Structure 1
Amino acid sequence: MTAHWRYLESLQPLPNLFLQAALRRKVNGTRLPELGLRSWLDVDAHKLADYRRVCGFADSSLLPPTYPHVLAFPLQMQLMTSADFPFPLLGLVHLANRISIHRPLGGVSKVYVSVQAVDLQPHAKGATFSLVTQVDDGMGLLWEEHSTFLCKNVKIDGPLGGDFEPSPLPLTEVTRWDTPAATGRQYAKVSGDYNPIHLSAPSARLFGFPTAIAHGMWLKARALAALDDHLPASNVEIAVQFHKPVRLPGHVTLSASAAGSHGQFRVDGQQAGIEHLTGEWKPIDG
């Protein structure tokens, strides 16, 4: 884990960070920075309400399980656009995301957020690393996230790791929903993630996509909003793998196992055999 930390009193505006990201299109090394970033961040009630609306979460005294990701996003951006970060941000592929909710996310108004990049590994298509985010309140660790990203066409030495897949549980359809063309722009407004591949067909084509695609973290959030009565509110780890991106506009189906301490879920596309997301939940110590 990172041994050195820098505390930030304030963060750079996201438009400035996206401009820096747009100007960096080349790999400039194969070593992750040893420096992590930390900052105190506030929960804005109006922004939270907008996030609930876009992602389908009902009003609650608890934060949505994915909302700390949005709180931490500016700090994550600042780390991944720093001069010593080796990979171009706009070329990264989000492969997987795992969040752990250690205690109920109630009464949260100000949190201490830490972000670091770790675990650089070889991959068949390049190299992967994990972006680790921790959110603390006055009582200690509250929430944690591990996001796995792929940087293509990077060569590092080492054996290729295999993905562990749990034994499948029986799933039944929970709901279906449309993904309008404006989905990416709506989520960008509430998350700050204005990656061009999500905003419109013309901007997505600049990066090799025929049309805009939905944010992976919007898809995870939308699924968890629909599964609110399936999962525990705390002491739970929720992990997903992102497969085929959701092209906008589109239509998807969410299926899940029965409610309980352990379970699995999947988001499928309109065409048979198209999986967009697979996930599971389990106790943190389970």
Structure 2
Amino acid sequence: MLWHTLPRSPALPPLYWRAALKRKITGTTLPTSGLHCRVQVNPEAVAAYRKVCGFAESPMLPATYPHILAFGLQLQLLTAREFPFPLLGLVHLSNRIRVFRPMGGVSDVRVSVHTRNLQPHAKGATFDLITTVEDSLGLLWEGESRMLCRGVKLDGEAPEQSLPAPNTVNELTRWQAPSDIGRRYARVSGDYNPIHLSALTAKLFGFPQAIAHGLWNKARTMAALHEHLPSANIELYVEFKKPVRLPGEVILLAGAPGSSGELQLKGSGDIEHMLGKWQPIA
């Protein structure tokens, strides 16, 4: 892996423009290089994120917050000329995070991003976007987002990968996903994907109404599960199913508190939005 070090997290507006202009698949090989840079944690930005995602005040960073620290680097990586797939239209299938140590007192970190594991899929091809966060003591946090690019032709069989429906979960809580949550999440995350912002912009991409961001669904779920979960040595994995249309109500079902368990996010009419599990890091 060849690493390029950036002096700071990239500015987002030029990257949005680059993403908007690239609409074609230009290859079937992932880049062999990654990006990293040092990032400062801004307490005011963390507080705004907590408010949007429902996290209580705490000296610990929310387990999902490193996604926000990495977003500029991820956008630069996925809009680079050598990256073969257009960013607009990628589908986030699943997300895994690992919290190795308690994330208290985190202020200055090194964030790294790269891609790997290109595989055939029934609808195209998938790859993993890997993000790591290191502090002065070493690896603190790792994230793995599986992304689908439709229309890519790869040789080979598509591997079957899906969580079974949980059978030991009960309703824990429910909440409203308001019509403006996509815009509010965009302001704290930097992710202004049109499918999340309004019905008008979502319709341009084939959605009848705006849908909630998958990582907001996961963050809101982690906030609701706060009392259930250990603060470190934990792996949290979710698969995104049917999108949450805005506005809408979602219901969180979960197993008993402990070092491992299962979760399910459902909507009206028993629609399944997200499946997940947590467990100690192997």
Shorter chain as normaliser: what TM range? over 0.9
1:210 is paired with a residue whose SS is coil
The equivalent of 1:127 in structure 2 is 125
Of all paired residues, the percent bearing the same amino acid is 57
How far 1:167 moved relative to its partner? 7.4
What residue ranges of structure 2 are gaps of 5+ in the alignment? none
The equivalent of 1:251 in structure 2 is 249
Select the residue among 81, 84, 87 that pairs with 2:82.
84
1:280 aligns with 2:248: no
1:48 is paired with a residue whose SS is helix
Residues 268 and 167 of structure 1, relative CA distance in 2, 3 Å threshold: closer
The equivalent of 1:240 in structure 2 is 238
What residue ranges of structure 1 are gaps of 5+ in the alignment? none
The two structures have a TM-score, normalised by structure 2, of 0.98
How far 1:200 moved relative to its partner? 0.5
The equivalent of 1:143 in structure 2 is 141
AA matched with 1:16? P
AA matched with 1:120? L
1:129 is paired with a residue whose SS is strand
How far 1:160 moved relative to its partner? 1.2
1:217 is paired with a residue whose SS is helix
| Aligned pairs for 1:202-217 within 5 A | 202-217=200-215
Structure 1 contact 242–276 (Cα < 8 Å) conserved:
yes
Moved more, 215-224 or 4-13: 4-13
Runs of 4+ in 1 over 4 A off after TM superposition: none
- 1:219-265 deviation per Cα after TM superposition (whole angstroms, max 9, x unaligned): 00000000001011000000000000001111110010000011011
Select the residue among 61, 71, 81 that pairs with 2:69.
71
Moved more, 133-142 or 9-18: 9-18
The equivalent of 2:198 in structure 1 is 200
The two structures have a TM-score, normalised by structure 1, of 0.97
The equivalent of 2:98 in structure 1 is 100
How far 1:25 moved relative to its partner? 0.8
AA matched with 2:245? R
How far 1:169 moved relative to its partner? 3.9
Say how many residue pairs are matched: 282
The equivalent of 2:50 in structure 1 is 52
Structure 1 contact 213–248 (Cα < 8 Å) conserved:
yes
Structure 2 contact 130–143 (Cα < 8 Å) conserved:
yes
How far 1:164 moved relative to its partner? 4.6
Query: Aligned equivalents of 2:206 and 2:162: distance in 1?
Result: 30
Structure 2 contact 262–276 (Cα < 8 Å) conserved:
yes
AA matched with 1:162? E
AA matched with 2:143? E
1:220 aligns with 2:209: no
How far 1:13 moved relative to its partner? 1.4
How far 1:163 moved relative to its partner? 1.0
The equivalent of 1:177 in structure 2 is 175
AA matched with 1:265? L
Query: Aligned equivalents of 1:79 and 1:123: distance in 2?
Result: 22
Select the residue among 156, 159, 162 that pairs with 1:161.
159
1:70 is paired with a residue whose SS is helix
The equivalent of 2:227 in structure 1 is 229
Structure 2 contact 165–275 (Cα < 8 Å) conserved:
no
Structure 1 contact 127–155 (Cα < 8 Å) conserved:
yes
2:16 is paired with a residue whose SS is helix
